[in-house]
Amino acid sequence: MSRQYFGTDGIRGRTNAGVMTAEVAMKVGQAAGTRFLRGSHRHRVVIGKDTRLSGYMLENAMVAGFTSVGMDVVLLGPMPTPAVALLTRELRADVGVMISASHNPYADNGIKLFGPDGFKLSDDDELAIEAMLAQDIPLAASEEIGRARRIDDARGRYIHAVKASLPDNIRLDGLKIVVDCANGAAYQVAPSAIWELGAEVITVGVSPNGKNINERCGSTHLDLVKESVVASGADIGIALDGDADRLIVVDEKGQTVDGDQLMALIGTQLAARGTLRGGGVVATVMSNLGLERYLQGQGLTLERTKVGDRYVLERMKEGGFNVGGEQSGHMIMLDHGTTGDGTVAGLQVLAALVQSGKRASELLHLFDTVPQLLKNVRFAGGKPLDDAKVKAVIAEAEAQLIGKGRLVIRPSGTEPVIRVMAEGDDAGQVEQVVDAICDAVREAAA
């Protein structure tokens, strides 16, 4: 069955257009509620959101949908995605919902769904819900309509869980830390958790107004956190995205530390303590070859998946891994949660900083990245990757990079674009290879 609504990370789109309307949100609530009406107990759904203006509209629509099929609703208000996953389990809910478009601009929004175990829904569950969206869904009898209530201690519960991810003997006293919350879901909880552990916290991106989420701040726009770290003389900066499931770090010199470097640090730290499971780390095909070589030098492996944190998580569960993530900053630590958690990952980095006694610039740049280049080629139609000339150019490029680098070519799942990425020890060769493939794709698509 082809997907009309669900992508690799729930349903996402521009609000009041396409799939992201109040009408669709209500129907998703009805369908997801019906899917998880299992057993004779009183059923419950947990709903959180980020700080987008459209969150009010979609939240109310989903409350209507869930209650109309007989589910009670627990509203968390603005909370990070990992907090929703956590509280879905803690409150013994049947399903959890996060209303967020992650790092996208405020005009977009999305719906992420979690099962009662706190993990994102399986393909089977998503396909079943998608099928119901085209059907008439039976409503609850009048006396069985659900109730909705807000809980006041959601922030405290999540802060406690975040702090509990560190050993009791770890304190952050003496550290000056810039925390950039992207004017998003973690604007209250992330600075509070870090301050309660003893750090001096300088906050930026903590004044959401409904329209400024991810706007020139957060993990996808690092100028603000870099300037704040250098200007304040901070030891380190951590930047979250709109729903706080990803993290990028900035050292005291204002240099970027991406998800690959963070996976290298956390993976080797756990390996040294004997708590790394699976013998390595799981990442996507986009992670730098430098990470793979570094881990191999430490006697660890790097397992690669398709792009998307859900594929990383699937492989982690299959292979018994407890650390995985993406170059973009999604960090999944299954010992502490069921989905990416930028705040928890940030605390692991801060703990390593405390224990090492080193400056961030000395600790966090564990390997030199291999030159990497990504270009996108837009095409009008057809399947240019099936063209014989394109295949020949790709084969020649792969032969050139044997033992020196990697080539990743993939069509976008959402638009007519071919993504061409190469990396290798010779930056000039990488550029030549990418350009040759892009030219061949354009010619085939002409």
**pLDDT exceeds 60 at position 1:** no
Asked whether residue 426 falls in the same domain as residue 356, the answer is no
Q: Give the global pTM.
A: 0.92
- What pLDDT does residue 7 have? 84
Q: What is the mean pLDDT of residues 281-288?
A: 96
Q: Provide the residue range defining the domain that includes 15.
A: 6-152
Which of 337, 363, 389 delimits the end of a domain? 363
Question: Exposed, middle or buried: residue 432 (CB in 10 Å: 0-12, 13-18, 19+)?
Answer: middle
Residue 72 CB coordination number (10 Å): 17
- What pLDDT does residue 123 have? 87
Does some domain include residue 185? yes
- What pLDDT does residue 411 have? 86
Residue 79 belongs to a domain with what CATH number? 3.40.120.10
Q: Per-residue pLDDT tens for 291-310? A: 999 999 999 999 999 988 88
CA 345, CA 183: separation in Å to the nearest integer? 19
Does some domain include residue 107? yes
- What pLDDT does residue 89 have? 96
Asked whether residue 171 falls in the same domain as residue 318, the answer is yes
Does some domain include residue 34? yes
Residue 380 belongs to a domain with what CATH number? 3.30.310.50
Residue 176 CB coordination number (10 Å): 17
Does some domain include residue 1? no
Asked whether 222 and 229 are in contact (CB, 8 A), the reply is: no
Instruction: Tell me how far CA of residue 221 lies from CA of 43, 213, 235, 249, 326, in angstroms.
Output: 40, 11, 20, 12, 17
Neighbouring residues of 252: CB distance < 8 A, sequence distance ≥ 6 = 229, 230, 233, 234, 235, 236, 359, 360, 361
- What pLDDT does residue 2 have? 62
102 is catalytic: yes
Spot the catalytic one: 54, 100, 102, 287: 102
Q: Per-residue pLDDT tens for 21-32? A: 999 999 999 999
> Binning pLDDT at 50, 70 and 90, where does residue 438 land?
very high
Neighbouring residues of 70: CB distance < 8 A, sequence distance ≥ 6 = 33, 37, 43, 140, 144, 145, 146
> Binning pLDDT at 50, 70 and 90, where does residue 412 land?
confident
Asked whether residue 167 falls in the same domain as residue 52, the answer is no
Which of 323, 339, 363 delimits the end of a domain? 363
